[in-house]
């Protein structure tokens, strides 16, 4: 559990006193202190934001919320702001992390690619310099430029679920989130088995953690020490790297499929995709879609309705 909110200066002073004897020797960059209380890690940032991490993070967090309230500093809509802050503005993670991300789940054509990367703290600045961030914020040209560099310089594991296998597993009752959970767990396990030292494992949250682990009930081995964060691609370098590597491999696969089909395959799942699928069916027959598309998408029904 991670809880983040901003506290006033008087409360910051109280926190500094309160955690004085629990402070860690080293502070993360831009922080005033980092301390351990039972199983909770408390980090106070120079910006006035305080982060509580751990299974019972809410205990310490609630205590400080009360203190802040009593001192008259909590404005009425603070609660709303807090829940918004929780999802939109986590502080940048400046630690050694393993992070995973997937692409292709919103594209009718092409595979799903999932990657887990290991980024030591010492490498973060260099990656930022290279322009690594959420792959959705980068154009294809930039991805093609940095993809090979990341593959060569960052330790990572990638798994490609091609369309044939996707269409084989999907009718067995796996929904998209279940597939994602299985794929993330697969690459995270592979990375964890390399026995690297890390501070956190971060996964870009695509559903509540409880549902994520429910999907993995039948898995032989499950990576459990995960911090789930929404929009993690923007605040955790290893997730950003995984996002870029996955995207790079996805684009390469789309390119290969395009060459084989003799037409540039459309990304996404819109009308252009439907029209292109009709052209492909005319040329190669309906069965071709099994090799290149995700058949459980609504597009398939729409396409079928145009065939009659
Ligand atoms: Mg993602």
Model confidence, pTM: 0.71
Centre of ligand 1 to C-alpha 206, Å, is 7
| Cα–Cα distance for residue pair 264/218, rounded to 1 Å | 39
Angle (CA) 134 135 137, round 5°: 75
> Residues 180-233: pLDDT tens digits?
999 999 999 999 999 999 999 999 999 999 999 999 999 999 999 999 998 899
| Cα–Cα distance for residue pair 134/297, rounded to 1 Å | 25
Centre of ligand 1 to C-alpha 102, Å, is 6
> Residues 147-178: pLDDT tens digits?
999 999 999 999 999 999 999 988 888 888 99
Which residues have C-beta under 5 Å from ligand 1, the single-atom ion? 101, 204
The beta-strand segments (E) located in 129-287 are 155-161, 200-204, 226-229
Centre of ligand 1 to C-alpha 204, Å, is 5
Closest by Cα among 158, 151, 144, 156 to 103: 158
> Residues 105-116: pLDDT tens digits?
999 999 999 999
> Residues 25-52: pLDDT tens digits?
998 888 999 999 888 899 999 989 999 9
Percentage of the chain beyond pLDDT 70 is: 94
| Cα–Cα distance for residue pair 41/56, rounded to 1 Å | 10
The residue that leads in pLDDT, 308 or 205, is 205
Tokens of 141: 């040209």
| Cα–Cα distance for residue pair 171/168, rounded to 1 Å | 7
> Residues 110-136: pLDDT tens digits?
999 999 999 999 999 999 889 998 888
| Cα–Cα distance for residue pair 65/294, rounded to 1 Å | 47
């Amino acid at each position: 559990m991670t809880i983040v909110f901003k506290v006033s200066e008087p409360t910051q002073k109280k926190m500094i006193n309160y955690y004085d004897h629990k402070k860690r020797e080293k502070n993360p960059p831009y922080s005033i202190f980092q301390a351990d209380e039972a199983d909770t890690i408390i980090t106070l940032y120079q910006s006035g934001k305080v982060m509580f991490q751990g299974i019972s993070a809410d205990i310490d967090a609630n205590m400080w919320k009360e203190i802040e309230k009593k001192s008259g500093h909590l404005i009425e809509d603070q609660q709303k702001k807090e829940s918004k802050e929780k999802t939109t503005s986590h502080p940048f993670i400046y630690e050694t992390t393993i992070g995973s991300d997937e692409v292709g789940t919103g594209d009718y054509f092409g595979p799903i690619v999932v990657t887990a990367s290991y980024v030591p703290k010492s490498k973060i600045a260099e990656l930022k310099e290279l322009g690594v961030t959420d792959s959705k914020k980068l154009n294809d040209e930039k991805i093609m430029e940095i993809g090979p560099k990341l593959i060569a310089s960052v330790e990572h594991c990638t798994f490609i679920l091609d369309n044939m296998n996707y269409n084989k597993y999907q009718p067995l009752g796996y929904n998209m989130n279940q597939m994602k959970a299985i794929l993330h767990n697969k690459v995270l396990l592979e990375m964890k088995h390399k026995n690297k030292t890390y501070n956190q494992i971060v996964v870009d949250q695509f559903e509540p953690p409880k549902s994520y682990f429910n999907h993995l009930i039948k898995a032989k081995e499950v990576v459990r020490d995960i911090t789930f964060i929404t929009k993690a691609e923007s605040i955790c370098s290893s997730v950003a790297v995984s996002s870029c590597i996955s995207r790079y491999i996805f684009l390469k696969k789309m390119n290969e499929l395009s060459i084989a089909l003799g037409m540039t395959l459309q990304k996404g799942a819109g009308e252009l995709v439907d029209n292109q699928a009709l052209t492909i069916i005319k040329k190669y027959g309906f069965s071709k879609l099994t090799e290149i598309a995700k058949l459980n998408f609504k597009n398939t029904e729409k396409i079928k309705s145009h065939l009659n």
